[in-house]
Chains A and B, each alone.
Chain A
Amino acid sequence: MSIATFVLRRLARGVLTIWFAVTVTFLLLRLLPGDPALAVASPNMTEAARAALLEQYGLDKPLIVQYGLYLVQLVQGNLGVSFTQSVPVLDVLMQRLPWTLLLTGTALVATVLVGVPLGVIAASKRGTVADRAVQVIGVVGQSLFVPSVGVLLLYTFGLVLGWLPIGGAYDTGTYGNEWYLSVLSHLVLPATSLVLIQLGSYVLTMRSTLIDALGEDYTTLAHANGLPARRVLWKHALRNALLPTTTLIGLQLGFLVGGAVLTETVFAYPGIGRGIYEAVTQLDFPVLQGAFLMLAATVVVVNMITDVIYGFLDPRVKTA
Chain B
Amino acid sequence: MSADKTLGGAGTVPLSAAEAMTSTTAEPVADENGRASAATWRAFRREPLGLLAGGLLALLVFVAIAAPLLSPYPASFGENVLRPPGGGEWFGTDALGRSVYAEVVWGTQQSLLVAAAASLIAIAFGTLVAVVGAYFRSIDGFIGVVVDLTLSLPVLPLMILIAALVGPSTTTIILVVAAFSWPEVTRIVRSQALTVVNLPYVDAARLMTTSPVWIITKHVVPTVTPVIVVSVVVTASRAVLSAAGLAFLGLGDPTTWSWGRILYEAQQSGAMSSAWWLTLFPSLAILALVLSATLLSIAYNDARNPKSRRR
Contacts and interface: CB of A to CB of B under 8 A. Distances in A.
Interface string B1-15: 011001100001111
Given A33-B166, A265-B267, A138 B20 contact: yes
B229 to A, nearest CB: 18
Given A258-B154, A296-B153, A276 B15 contact: no
Interface stretch (A16-24, A43-51, A59-67, A168-176): A16-24
A299 B15 contact: no
B245 A254 contact: no
Interface in B262-282: 263, 267, 272-274, 276, 279, 282
Interface string B225-254: 000000000000100010011001111000
Contact of B157 (A138, A154, A212, A261): A261
A258 B155 contact: yes
B249 A299 contact: no
B165 interface: yes
Nearest to A144: B287
A142 B238 CA distance: 10
B189 interface: no
Given A154-B273, A280-B249, A285 B152 contact: no
Contacts of A261: 156-157, 160, 245, 249
A68 interface: no
Given A208-B23, A253-B154, A25 B161 contact: yes
A42 interface: no
Interface stretch (B84-92, B120-128, B192-200, B291-299): B291-299
B112 to A, nearest CB: 15
Q: Which of B154, B249, B274, B286 has the most CB of A within 10 A?
A: B154
Contact of B166 (A32, A216, A255): A32
B152 A17 contact: yes
Contacts of B70: none
B154 A34 contact: no
B134 interface: no
Nearest to A206: B20
Main secondary structure of the interface of B (DSSP, over half): helix
Nearest to B293: A143
Given A33-B166, A244-B3, A280-B251, A139 B23 contact: no
A281 interface: yes
Contacts of B166: 32-34
A295 B154 contact: yes
B20 A205 contact: yes
Contacts of B7: 209, 244, 247
Given A212-B23, A213-B3, A262-B249, A248 B165 contact: no
A212 B152 contact: no
A2 B152 CA distance: 25
A48 B3 CA distance: 62
A265 B246 CA distance: 12
A257 B155 CA distance: 9
A142 B154 contact: no
Q: Which of A33, A142, A201, A205 has the most CB of B within 10 A?
A: A142
Q: Which of A28, A32, A151, A255 has the most CB of B within 10 A?
A: A151
A263 to B, nearest CB: 11
A146 interface: yes
A148 B279 CA distance: 7
B21 A139 contact: yes
A57 to B, nearest CB: 16
Interface string A209-221: 1011100100000
A143 B298 CA distance: 13
Contact of A255 (B14, B248, B286): B14
Given A143-B291, A145-B290, A32 B151 contact: no
Given A28-B165, A205-B15, A254 B20 contact: no
Contacts of B81: none
A261 B7 CA distance: 28
Contacts of A250: 12, 152
Interface string A141-174: 0111111100110110011000000100000000
Contacts of B204: none
Q: Which of B165, B248, B274 has the most CB of A within 10 A?
A: B165
B213 interface: no
Interface stretch (A79-87, A110-118, A286-294, A309-317): A286-294
B115 to A, nearest CB: 13
Contact of A262 (B3, B21, B164, B248): B248
A103 interface: no
28 contacts: A16-B149, A20-B153, A25-B161, A32-B165, A138-B21, A139-B291, A139-B298, A143-B290, A145-B286, A147-B263, A148-B279, A155-B273, A155-B276, A208-B15, A247-B12, A251-B13, A257-B154, A261-B157, A261-B245, A261-B249, A265-B249, A276-B157, A276-B160, A277-B249, A280-B249, A283-B164, A285-B165, A288-B164
Given A158-B273, A277-B249, A289-B161, 18 more contacts: A32-B165, A33-B166, A138-B20, A139-B291, A142-B16, A148-B282, A151-B279, A152-B283, A207-B23, A208-B6, A208-B20, A209-B3, A212-B6, A213-B3, A253-B154, A262-B245, A262-B248, A283-B164
